C-alpha cells in the first residue's frame, strides 16, 4: 500500500505543504520554551496498526519527529503531555462516537496503549479523553494553568480531527498554538493539507519540528550562558 507520506519522503512533503499553506500562515510566532508544553495526541496502537479499522497512515511517518521533540523537551525539563482516546464501552461513554465510527478504542486494552517508540515516562501526564478535543471533559486546562503554560505545541493524530479540535479549543482559551505540519498525520493528504490551511488561517501558527527543536535548544543555551555569567 502506498501511503501519502512516509519517513522517506517526509522532508519533500514538508517543502510542498509549506508552499501550499504559505498564503494562510501569516500569524507567525516565536516559541517561548520555558512557558510551553508539548502535547502528543492519541499516538496509540489503535490508530497506528495497519490492520486497525481506524488506521491513520500519516501517523507512522511522524513517529521519529515526535520522538525527537519528546527527547528535547525531556532533556530541558519541559512538560510533555500525552492524550489517549479511549472509552469504557460504547454504551457508557461512546455517545455519538460509537454511532459515527465502526470501532472504538476500549480503555485498558493493548491497542489503547501509546506506541512503544514514544511511550510516556511513569511521571508524565496522560489525559484520557472520550471526544476529539483534549480539553473536553478533561483536566488538561487545569494542568496547563498549574504549569504556567502559555505556548502549546501540538503533535499527533488525526490532523483534521483530534489535533484540529484541540488546537481550536486551545485558541479559545487564549493559548498560543504551534501546530506541527510534520508531526501531525491523518488518513489522507487532502484532509491533512486542508486542515493545515484552515488552522493557519484561523487558529495557530503552523510550523515544523526543526523550528521547535531550534527554539528549545536555543533557550537552553541562553540559560546556560546566563548562569555562567552569574557565577
Longest dimension (CA), the chain: 62
User: Which of 15-19, 106-110, 167-171 has the least mean pLDDT?
Assistant: 106-110
Residue-wise pLDDT tens digits, 12-66: 999 999 999 999 999 999 999 999 999 999 999 999 999 988 899 999 999 999 9
pLDDT band (50, 70, 90) for residue 103: confident
SS3 (DSSP) at 138: coil
> Nearest to residue 68, comparing CAs of 222, 212, 206, 218?
212
Nine-digit cell string for 224: 546556560
What's the pLDDT at 100? Answer: 86
pLDDT band (50, 70, 90) for residue 151: very high
User: What does CATH list as the number for 34-199+207-230?
Assistant: 3.40.50.850
What's the pLDDT at 223? Answer: 62
Amino acid at each position: 500500500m502506498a501511503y501519502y507520506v512516509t519517513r522517506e519522503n517526509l522532508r519533500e512533503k514538508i517543502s510542498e505543504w509549506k508552499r501550499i499553506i504559505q498564503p494562510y500562515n501569516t500569524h507567525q510566532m516565536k516559541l517561548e520554551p520555558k512557558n510551553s508544553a508539548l502535547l502528543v495526541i492519541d499516538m496509540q496502537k489503535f490508530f497506528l496498526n495497519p490492520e486497525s479499522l481506524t488506521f491513520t497512515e500519516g501517523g507512522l511517518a511522524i513517529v521519529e519527529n515526535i520522538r525527537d521533540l519528546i527527547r528535547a523537551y525531556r532533556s530541558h525539563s519541559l512538560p510533555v503531555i500525552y492524550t489517549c482516546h479511549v472509552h469504557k464501552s460504547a454504551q457508557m461513554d461512546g455517545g455519538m462516537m460509537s454511532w459515527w465510527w465502526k470501532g472504538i478504542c476500549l480503555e485498558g486494552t493493548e491497542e489503547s496503549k501509546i506506541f512503544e517508540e514514544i511511550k510516556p515516562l511513569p511521571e508524565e501526564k496522560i489525559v484520557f479523553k472520550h471526544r476529539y478535543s483534549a480539553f473536553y471533559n478533561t483536566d488538561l486546562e487545569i494542568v496547563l494553568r498549574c504549569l504556567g503554560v502559555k505556548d502549546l505545541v501540538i503533535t499527533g493524530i488525526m490532523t483534521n480531527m483530534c489535533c484540529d479540535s484541540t488546537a481550536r479549543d486551545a485558541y479559545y482559551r487564549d493559548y498560543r498554538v504551534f501546530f506541527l505540519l510534520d508531526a501531525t498525520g491523518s488518513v489522507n493528504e487532502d484532509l491533512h493539507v486542508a486542515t493545515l490551511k484552515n488552522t493557519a488561517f484561523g487558529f495557530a501558527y503552523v510550523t515544523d519540528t526543526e523550528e521547535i527543536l531550534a527554539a528549545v535548544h536555543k533557550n537552553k543555551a541562553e540559560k546556560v550562558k546566563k548562569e555562567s555569567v552569574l557565577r
